[in-house]
A = this chain, B = another copy of it.
Amino acid sequence: MSSIAARLIPTWLRQYQLTALPTDLVAGLVVGVLVIPQSLGYAVLAGLPPVYGLYSAIVPVLVYAWLGSSNVQAVGPVAITAIMTASGLLPYAEQGTEQYALMASLLALMVGALLWIAGRLKLGWIMQFISRGVSAGFVSGAAVLIFVSQLKYLMAIPIAGSSLVGYLSTMQRYASQVHPLTLVIGIIAFVLLVANRYASQWVWRTWLSSSYAKWAERLFPLVLLGIAIVLSMLLHWNSLGVATIGRIPHGLPSFTLPHMTDLQEALKLLPTAGLMALIVFVSSSSVASTYARLRGESFDANHELTGLGLANLSGGLFQSFAVAGGFSRTAINADSGAKTPLASLVTVLVMIAALIAFSNALAPLPYALLGATIMASIIGLIDIATLKSAWQRDRLDGASFLAAFVGVLIFGLNTGLVIGLMVSFASLIWQSSKPHVAIVGQLGGTGHFRNINRHDVVTFDNLLMLRIDESLFFGNSESVHRRILNAMQQYPAAQEIILIMAAVNHIDLTAQEMLSTLNKELALQNKRLHFSFIKGPVMDIIGQTPLISELSGQVYLSTLDAVDALKDI
């Protein structure tokens, strides 16, 4: 095969084994049919007409099947990208306008570009940037916001805002205008969906075997939607004031370039795009790596970044909003027997069929049903179990969870995520901000130097030897500085201060400036600062800096050299 064809045709397709075909076909069909209601709902959650949910499940899914890292991950519109789109665009465009849809695609394009660049720069390690506590807290807070935002469709009132406070205050303002029939329909649907999901052991498992019960549970939302469509037509809900989604535009998503006239607007979206890219990557790679491990495949974070990036980039050019790997749709895909991304291609065909053949059929569906579907499915994302275990197993991670969770509810998604990240970094810095600094002495005539509190060692009146047991960086340089000054107060006679740097793997600029300051302070007291045992890579960095050229003392290869040279001064 020519190398161009080899590059164009993905490995899984070149090595495709026909034995996988039947299960791939079934899985793709099942996922395609089951995720239609969700896709419509997430588009509405993102502030877009329902059809955009189907659009978003076409081009990005094709591209990910072609270039993505995972064989079974099903990408598509998910709740978190939908609500981040809605809250990110809130200040800049009005929902329902053409400008809004263009900006949603622009956002997907920017998210894709950032992910792709990150992949080229091999920033896959950045996935480790978000601690378990922060991601669970963020997702839980977002789930609460999503839940409350969907009350808009159950109550048929215009709830808007970017935080819980915003939602609740607009809800209160319009409380008197609730549409009773819509509310009844929505509540019934919600109760049935929740019962289906959380009481399935009583509902389905009493008369079905376990594997049938699982499928009954999965199919039920679709059946309920069908029933609602029929009832809506028969009872003329629309004429009774129940908002229905109406005719879905016929046909496929078209190629659309974003208006680039207003660069400033795009710049304003950049922080949102950055945070969305982070969340898309972290959640997708958690799904993909879990399934890769289950299937004994390897997971390449940089490959995943590139695949997600190109999926979103291309999606942004075809009327899609930002997509990610979804846990539930991937679970259905894998459970249904998907072996390769061919399943995703079948899913795309289902979406295309829905757009071409069935788009009129969905018209009588009330928005309240979509709202109830999302509310019922989102409850599972409120992750109290992780908060509990974080609190028991690592109090600081619990604090990060709460910071992200409460931050999202009070300040909205972006600020909440940033607050959560800040708290998790703060706890990281707090943990390493007090490194061990030991005063050491010579172990009887040997070249070994040990902590004077633990060993019987020889000290010298004019020497103070300090061993620094951690890399030096902005988070601990002040603490180390203080410890050195304290040690000098304990041993005021010492004229020569020797810092033993054997355990220091890195010295950043803040710490270099601290050591320069220390050097000057010692000089004022007619004391000298020496280093011993500086590691090669550290010396490479600091060798050419003022820290070394202005040092009052010397740099010694070993502590023994330093002691021999200085003890008799």
Contacts and interface: CB of A to CB of B under 8 A. Distances in A.
Given A169-B264, A271-B411, A421-B422, A508 B131 contact: yes
Interface string A456-493: 00000000000000010111111100000000000000
Interface string A113-136: 000000000000111111111000
B411 A270 contact: yes
A165 B542 contact: no
A474 B509 contact: no
Given A132-B510, A271-B415, A393 B475 contact: no
Contacts of A125: 429-430, 433-434, 478-479
A410 interface: yes
Nearest to A301: B478
A431 interface: yes
A219 interface: no
Contact of A128 (B127, B396, B476): B476
A509 B411 contact: no
Given A474-B128, A478-B128, A393 B509 contact: yes
| Number of this chain's copies in the complex | 2
B508 A478 contact: no
Contacts of A394: 507-509, 512, 541
Contacts of A126: 426
Given A132-B510, A169-B264, A393-B542, A475 B428 contact: yes
A431 B474 CA distance: 13
Nearest to A396: B508
B510 A131 contact: yes
B474 A131 contact: yes
A428 B506 CA distance: 11
Contacts of A397: 508-510
Interface string A269-304: 011000000000000000000000100000000000
A557 to B, nearest CB: 20
A544 B388 CA distance: 13
A507 B393 CA distance: 9
A418 interface: yes
A390 interface: yes
Contact of A474 (B270, B424, B430, B517): B424
Interface string A529-561: 000000000000110110000000000000000
Contact of A293 (B411, B430, B521): B521
B264 A130 contact: no
Nearest to A520: B293
Contacts of A418: 418
A383 interface: no
Contacts of A235: none
A473 B271 contact: no
Nearest to A431: B506
A394 B514 CA distance: 14
Given A128-B474, A128-B476, 9 more contacts: A125-B429, A128-B475, A128-B478, A129-B474, A132-B513, A267-B410, A394-B507, A394-B509, A418-B418
The 7 residue pairs across chains A and B that have the minimum distance between CB atoms: A131-B474, A397-B509, A132-B510, A394-B509, A425-B425, A132-B509, A394-B508
18 contacts: A125-B434, A128-B476, A128-B478, A129-B426, A131-B509, A132-B508, A133-B509, A270-B411, A271-B411, A390-B509, A392-B545, A393-B512, A393-B545, A397-B508, A397-B510, A428-B428, A428-B473, A431-B471
